[in-house]
Amino acid sequence: MTTHRPPAQAGLIGLTPAAADEVPSSLFNPECFTLENGLEVIVVPNRRAPVVAHWLWYRIGTADSPVGKSGLPHFLEHLMFKGTERIPPGEFSKIVARHGGNDNAMTSYDFTAYFQMIAKDRLPLVMEMEADRMVNLRLSDAEVYPERDVILEERRQRVDNEPASILGEELAAAQWLHHPYRLPVIGWMHEIASYTREDCERFYETWYAPNNAALIVVGDVDAAELRPLAEAAYGGIPARPVPERARVHEPPQHAERLVTLRDPRVRQPNIIRSWLAPSLTSPGAEHALPLEVLAQVLGGSATSRLYRSLLVEQGLAAGAGAFYRATSKDGTSFRAYASPRPGVEVDRLEAALDAEIAKLLQDGVAEEEVERVQRRMLAETIYALDSLNSAAHIFGSALCSGQTVADVEAWPSRVAAVTKEQVDAAARATLRPETSVIGRLLPAEGQA
């Protein structure tokens, strides 16, 4: 099982307005239907091999954790492998493997997802198994509490032993003053230690229902073939009342923040500047797709501004780039980052990074930069079309964050329509000091 943050959608979109005739009218051409119990089903046929990717997504993630139980959705993800009356604890993945497949699961802020990659003729088997644990999970103290210790150890290894991960948590906690995106996906250590079996059963019974889920199947199958299988496996599960995903709202931010982590384990310093930003489904969504383009112009490749300036022209950085994740239910962040070359003072690199941002805000982007990025983004859609799991991830993360299938299919044409003026407006609306956090990862004092 993996703790996961959704990737940026940059590889899904784009071309220049000048070449609009080359923009595909749709991306994956999915086939969709909904079962009577509310389970939404998306099928993306891909006949290249007799293989399917079967994903079940629940619209529940770490940002929906009960108060004082941060990371509980991630813990339940682990417990979903502990068995039902039909499948003994630990046997789910073994059964999938015996049939030549592989499986895993992931939790992020807005979703929890379970998937299997398997031969087409084994699809009914994994569908029945996944449907079984949607309603028939059986938890005992003997299963829950040892697994809680596993999560505590996972946190020690992946976060507490990794200075970059510690900084990431501190940065998120400073970026979001109130919204639960400030929580670690895995949860805080003391709150993980407080989980009880009753907490897990209550959360499972509240959120794990067909009407709070989306089934996405990609591969050698179409809707006509899948529908009777879905009806047989999932159709008999009754819908249940599911509460609204009630989340607190982020208040206005007025002060730039600085987070500095010094640690003797740090070998490569790093600087991150992170701004609060709109997503495709939050207030300010009109800026989301222009921000996708901006992230690529600023730091998406070896031809980007930060790479050319900080690495090639000034020789200050060993690495630099920008990151923006548009698929998020309640907002997101826009980040620029850089790591200094040996012998370069961090303050000098930070000043150079800030100078590039200031230049961008003053002069804007160039028309040719936008067009080049849009061409590359469309070319990269080929990779998404080739990958069964990429297609499933794109649809699943979109649906769990409040987007629709139509939104996914419209990405190429919508980004093709982005203009230089829209990118400039998005930059000036987003890259403001009062909504930013500076993160510095540094060696301990006196350490070379």
Task: Compare 397 and 4 and report the one with higher pLDDT.
Answer: 397
What average pLDDT is seen over the chain?
93
Q: What percent of the chain has pLDDT above 90? A: 89
What is the distance between the alpha carbons of residues 165 and 201, in angstroms, rounded to a whole number? 30
| Predicted local distance difference test score (pLDDT) of residue 27 | 81
**Architecture of the 257-442 domain:** 2-Layer Sandwich (3.30)
Res. 169: pLDDT tops 90: yes
pLDDT tier at 23 (50, 70, 90 boundaries)? low
- Answer yes or no: are the C-beta atoms of 271 and 438 closer than 8 Å: yes
Q: Tell me the pTM.
A: 0.92
Percentage of the chain lying above the pLDDT 70 cut? 94
Predicted pLDDT of residue 378: 83
pLDDT on residue 25: 64
- pLDDT per residue over 358-391, tens digit each? 999 999 999 999 999 999 988 887 777 788 999 9
CB 334 within 8 A of CB 295: yes
User: Average pLDDT for residues 144-160, to the nearest whole number?
Assistant: 97
Q: How confident is the model at residue 448 (pLDDT cuts 50, 70, 90)?
A: low
pLDDT of residue 114: 98
Count of Cβ atoms closer than 10 Å to residue 351 Cβ: 11
**Which has the closest alpha carbon to 353: 289, 270, 291, 276?**
270
pLDDT at 10: 35
Taking the alpha carbons at both ends of the chain, their separation in whole angstroms is 37
Residues 31, 77, 292, 369: which is the catalytic one? Answer: 77
How many residues are there in the chain? Answer: 448
pLDDT of 381: 77
44: CB partners within 8 A, 6+ apart: 28, 29, 30, 31, 216, 217, 218, 219, 391, 392, 395
Q: Which sign does the torsion angle of CA 264, 266, 272, 274 carry?
A: negative
Per-residue DSSP letters for 344-373? Answer: --HHHHHHHHHHHHHHHHHH---HHHHHHH
User: Could you tell me the two tokens for 54?
Assistant: 């079967």
Across the range 144-172, mean pLDDT stands at 97
Answer yes or no: 77 catalytic.
Answer: yes
208-225 mean pLDDT: 98
List CB contacts of 251: < 8 A, sequence separation 6 or more.
177, 178
Pick the CATH number of 2-234 from 1.10.10.10, 3.40.718.10, 3.30.830.10, 3.40.30.10: 3.30.830.10
Tens digit of each residue's pLDDT (9 = 90 or more) over 263-296 = 999 999 999 999 999 999 999 999 999 999 999 9
What's the Rg (C-alpha) of the chain? 23
Given a cut of 50, whether residue 15 has pLDDT beyond it is no
Instruction: Tell me what pLDDT residue 246 has.
Output: 87
pLDDT-wise least confident of 4-8, 227-231, 389-393 = 4-8
2-234 matches 257-442 in fold: yes
> Tens digits of per-residue pLDDT, 26-63?
789 999 999 999 999 999 999 999 999 999 999 999 99
d(CA 440, CA 346): 9
Q: Is the pLDDT of residue 4 over 80?
A: no
Question: Domain extents for the chain?
Answer: 2-234, 257-442
**Burial of 347: CB neighbours in 10 Å, binned 0-12, 13-18, 19+:** exposed
Question: Does residue 7 carry a pLDDT above 50?
Answer: no
